[in-house]
Amino acid sequence: MKKKTALITGGATGIGKITALQLAEKGYQLIINYRSSELEAKELAKQLEESFGTDCLLLQGDVAKQEDCIRMVHQALTRFSSIDVLIHNAGPYIHERKKLTDYSFEEWNYLLNGNLSAVFNLSKLTIPIMRKNKWGRIITMGFDRVETAPGWIYRSAFAAAKTGLASLTRTIAIEEMINGITANMVSPGDISTEWKEKTIEQAFSSDNSLTSVGRSGTGEDIARVISFLVDENSSFITGSIIPVTGGIDVLGKALKDEHNIKES
């Protein structure tokens, strides 16, 4: 049976890395995109090969740039005959708190290109390949309650891009279901950087009661959902937006934190 190939953007670190490990364990060939994490990408490729014998291709590129998206897909197809799974994990984010008017034109365009247009570019290039195979899986990443188009204080560009992406994901699902292609969005909760590459087992053994489930969220929580969605037998799940938040109201927490700052 022919092995399937998955392209993971931003796959060298964080949730992308844990997702790569999950899919490698399931026998996938992997294309790992990274922007600046070359050392981490090479270390991951070595780990994948040694642990699972994974055929892995590393591709440097900025998904916010259309020309990089085009180049990476062309390079991938010189190595592999198809791209069966597309996981849009990469997404620019500005941690500094900024009101809409404080964003520069360049920042605004970069965030929209990296979080929304990148998905159009890569999907446009890979969906025709999936159509030929009558099979494909597309995964995008959102945020808590993204499907309701909520306001997110100081995150206007990111929120606008991801809200548009939720609609785009569902549109792809409707348009491509006849071709055996599914499209779903996974919406991580408040998973801190230090926990993005950790396991559920590590979370249970840590003294943390900040969430309703009594432990921190981890990259493995997200990767497990992605792994389920790309499975051969998950073809009935498409156009879904799946929150993985541990019961935390992420946007409410952000607003509460802002009020606390003003009061202090």
Report the chain's mean pLDDT, rounded to a whole number. 92
What percent of the chain lies above the pLDDT cut of 90? Answer: 80
CATH number at residue 147: 3.40.50.720
Amino acid at 164: G
Q: How confident is the model at residue 201 (pLDDT cuts 50, 70, 90)?
A: confident
At residue 212, the pLDDT reads 65
Q: Which residues, listed in sequence order, are joined to residue 243 by a DSSP beta bridge?
A: 187
- Which pLDDT does position 87 carry in this prediction? 98
CA–CA distance, 207 with 188 (Å, rounded to integer): 21
The full 3-state SS of 206-258, as one line of letters, equals CCCCCCCCCCCCCHHHHHHHHHHHCCCCCCCCCCCEEEECCCCCHHHHHHHHH
Single-letter code of the amino acid located at 208: N
Task: Write the pLDDT tens digit of every residue in 123-178.
Answer: 999 999 999 999 999 999 999 999 999 999 999 999 999 999 999 999 999 999 99
Question: Residue 127 has what pLDDT?
Answer: 98
Q: Is residue 206 part of a domain?
A: no
Does residue 191 surpass a pLDDT of 90? Answer: no
Environment class of 264 (CB within 10 Å of its CB; exposed 0-12, middle 13-18, buried 19+) = exposed
Mapped onto helix, strand or coil, the DSSP state of residue 6 is strand
Asked if the model's pLDDT at residue 103 lies above 90, the reply is yes
- Nearest CA to 165 out of 78, 255, 75, 90 is that of 90
Whether pTM > 0.85 for this model: the answer is: yes
- The enclosing H or E element of 7 equals strand 5-8
pLDDT at 202: 85
30 found inside a domain: yes
Identify which has the larger pLDDT, 179 or 264: 179
**b vs e for 2-21, b when ≥16 Cβ sit within 10 Å of the residue's Cβ?**
eebbbbbbbbbbbbbbbbbb
Q: Is residue 259 part of a domain?
A: no
The pLDDT of residue 242: 97
Phi, psi of 55 (to 5 degrees): -80, 110
Whether residue 208 is contained in a domain is answered as: no
Residue 180 counted as domain residue: yes
Q: How many CA atoms lie within 13 A of 139 on its CB side?
A: 29
Res 264 pLDDT > 70: no
Q: Is residue 166 part of a domain?
A: yes
49: tokens are 């090969």
Residue 261 has pLDDT above 80, yes or no: no
Domain presence at residue 150: yes
* Helix (H) or strand (E) segment spanning residue 157: helix 156-176
Domain containing 125 equals 5-199+218-246
**Is residue 207 assigned to a domain?**
no
Mean pLDDT of the 51-77 span: 98
What is the per-residue pLDDT for 248? 82
Q: For 76-89, write each residue's pLDDT tens digit.
A: 999 999 999 999 99
Q: By the 8 A CB rule, do 146 and 128 touch? A: no
Distance CA 232, CA 235 (A): 7
What is the count of structural domains for the chain? Answer: 1
> Residues 201-209: what's their mean pLDDT?
73
Q: Is the pLDDT of residue 252 over 90?
A: no
